[in-house]
Amino acid sequence: MRGRHERRPRIPSSITLALLAAIAITTVAFAATRLDRAAPRDGSGSAPAAASATPAVSGAGESPSRPGVASPTPSASPSPTPRGRLVIHGTGDVSLDPGYIGTFATHGYAYAFSGLGGLFQRDDLTVINLECAVSDLGTPVPKEFNFRCDPDALPVARRMGVEVASLGNNHAYDYGPEALLDSIRNLRRAGIAPVGAGATQDRALEPALFELGGWTVAVVGFDMVVDPYPAAIATDTKPGTAAGHDEGLMIAAIEAADAVADIVIVTIHWGVELDTEPRDFQLDLGHRMVDAGADVIFGHHSHRLQPMVVYRGRPIFWGLGNFVWPNLSTGGSTTAVAEVTVTHDGRLRGRLLPAFIEAPGHPVLR
């Protein structure tokens, strides 16, 4: 959170300035009065009750003003909006591909989330890593596995409480640029904010912005897993996923998000498959992300559950494993939901809620 720790004054890079300009153009406008962020980057807070605020999702093509939000009544001593407690959840890999998970044909797409007891419907924000193109368009790119999500699954996922889907992974581009852009459109139509991919590099790095309980929350997504199809990474002139191995782009995107939000959430596809602990490069990058302004990091890709740590008061979930996925092994089916609570004074507490994939595409809380 901005203002939580001392930082050296810096001259914004051209990347940061470009991202800030893009955010200003394409996201909801914020309230005129912003509150200072006071909690330090150390310690953690107590677990809050779930807040009831409804997020206003930002995105390209939206009105620059927040619909449904009344202008404040002028007064001699305007009172700032009190900040409530928030509950935020994150998951690992989610596939809604009916060809990969055959149980959806029998049980429907709600089966993907029905083992959670309404957990995502009661919280303030849920972020998933969606490991497939969400489109009927495009053709398979040359790689071993190509996943395609049924767009009809998206309204169901939204009803079950999903607000953000990261396309910053090595399967969002499985059917090429046309399908990727269609995925973004289909997610927005369903009321789910896409992050981690876009029509250009700048668009792929843009955050989704929410106003929740008096807080402005930004979510950014990154894709470090570029093999076996590095052409999936977005450029200035080509659609794709966000950042690749360019850590400077990631840090600039986090700094830009931190400049306009109170809470910055990073969801990142990184690491090595089947690892149960993060690699040294992840440890270094995760710490740099927090130093740049990240408040929560949701990691994924290894297909194995990895531990959570707290760095400068910020929870880092190194690897959240599989989630809505086939139950191919005990290790691959052992998973968890990341839960982060934010107190009214901005302190964060993270924990892992144990779960197990009891049937293909059906994680159940333990």
Q: What torsion, rounded to 10 degrees, do the Cα atoms 145, 146, 147, 150 define? A: -150
How far are the Cα atoms of 163, 193, 347 from residue 112, in angstroms, in the given order? 15, 19, 31
SS3 (DSSP) at 158:
helix
Identify whether 342 is part of a domain: no
pLDDT band at residue 211 using 50, 70 and 90 as cut-offs: very high
Identify whether 182 is part of a domain: yes
Does residue 359 surpass a pLDDT of 50? yes
The tokens of 244 are what?
Answer: 């690749």
Instruction: Say whether the peptide bond before residue 228 is cis (omega within 30 degrees of 0).
Output: yes
Identify whether 1 is part of a domain: no
pLDDT band at residue 13 using 50, 70 and 90 as cut-offs: low
Q: What is the pLDDT of residue 82?
A: 84
pLDDT per position as a tens digit, 49-89? 333 333 444 443 333 332 222 333 334 445 567 899 999 99
Identify whether 155 is part of a domain: yes
**Domains: count for the chain:** 1
Mean per-residue pLDDT, 21-45: 40
Q: What is the pLDDT of residue 350?
A: 98
Q: What is the pLDDT of residue 74?
A: 38
Identify whether 278 is part of a domain: yes
Does residue 220 surpass a pLDDT of 90? yes
Ranges of beta strands (E only) in the chain are 86-94, 125-130, 164-166, 193-195, 197-198, 208-212, 215-223, 240-241, 263-269, 296-300, 308-311, 314-317, 322-324, 334-342, 348-359, 362-365
Identify whether 201 is part of a domain: yes
Identify whether 76 is part of a domain: no
- Determine how β-strand 197-198 pairs with β-strand 208-212: unpaired
Q: Which residue has the higher pLDDT, 280 or 41?
A: 280
Q: What is the pLDDT of residue 17?
A: 58
Average pLDDT, the chain: 85
CATH number at residue 47: 3.60.21
Mean per-residue pLDDT, 149-162: 96
Identify any residues that bridge with 360 across adjacent strands, giving them in sequence order.
Answer: none
Identify whether 219 is part of a domain: yes
What is the spatial distance between Cα 200 and Cα 90, in angstroms, rounded to a whole number?
26
pLDDT per position as a tens digit, 238-277? 999 999 999 999 999 999 999 999 999 999 999 999 999 9
Q: What is the pLDDT of residue 81?
A: 72
Q: Which domain holds residue 210?
A: 23-29+40-62+83-334+348-365
Mean per-residue pLDDT, 38-55: 39
